[in-house]
A and B are shown apart, each in its own frame.
Chain A
């Protein structure tokens, strides 16, 4: 079945430092979504990537889809305490399946 790995599992940063989480798939993907879940909250959709090599930006967040469509990254520039939460990737295998497989997530802890 679809395997997806997210690294790191946890990341502690000082406020103002940058943060990056990676999502790696064992198979080629059709597309990938990123979600953020605050502590005690529910996942909130951030972005969807579809094209090989695609890069999308949302203010301090930069999302990238790998050229081979097997991996993705989320980079946050100059973290703030409001960035605290767990970031999940949800991948969709190529071949027409619309069943998403979520990674275990990367928990970001920002120290003021």
Chain B
């Protein structure tokens, strides 16, 4: 039973560029949430996708957008990268959009220079 997978593992981008991160949920899960975790901080909720639609959104600007595909996998896109976007980006999957147990992937470490 495959857990949550994310790609790539690490990424280095320049200010102003755009990036796409990918996530495949745990088998059987239909809901994907994305988080940003800065060094020494807890994960911050970006948004959640269910049935290919954004269902909930945290306090992040429109530069952060996403997509969910029919197979439940998901992408996180960040435009016009800023130095402050450097962080670990975590994907978590769950069964439903409620306050359910979340399974986190290993994350993508994004560095913006």
Task: State the A residues within 8 Å of B (CB).
Answer: 1, 30-31, 33, 35, 41-45, 48, 88, 90, 92, 98-105
Contact = CB atoms under 8 A, between A and B. Distances in A.
Interface string B66-81: 0000000000000000
Mostly, the B contact residues are: loop
A88 B42 contact: yes
A38 B70 CA distance: 33
Nearest to B35: A102
A101 B63 CA distance: 21
A40 B101 CA distance: 21
A98 B106 CA distance: 23
Mostly, the A contact residues are: strand
Given A1-B59, A99-B58, A43 B43 contact: yes
A99 B45 contact: yes
Contact of B45 (A43, A44, A101, A104): A101
Nearest to B88: A42
Interface residues of B, number: 23
Contacts of A90: 42
B45 A33 contact: no
Nearest to A101: B45
Given A42-B104, A43-B90, 12 more contacts: A30-B99, A31-B99, A35-B104, A42-B105, A42-B106, A43-B102, A98-B97, A99-B56, A102-B43, A102-B45, A104-B41, A104-B42
Given A42-B106, A43-B104, A44-B104, A102 B42 contact: yes
A66 to B, nearest CB: 17
B42 A105 contact: yes
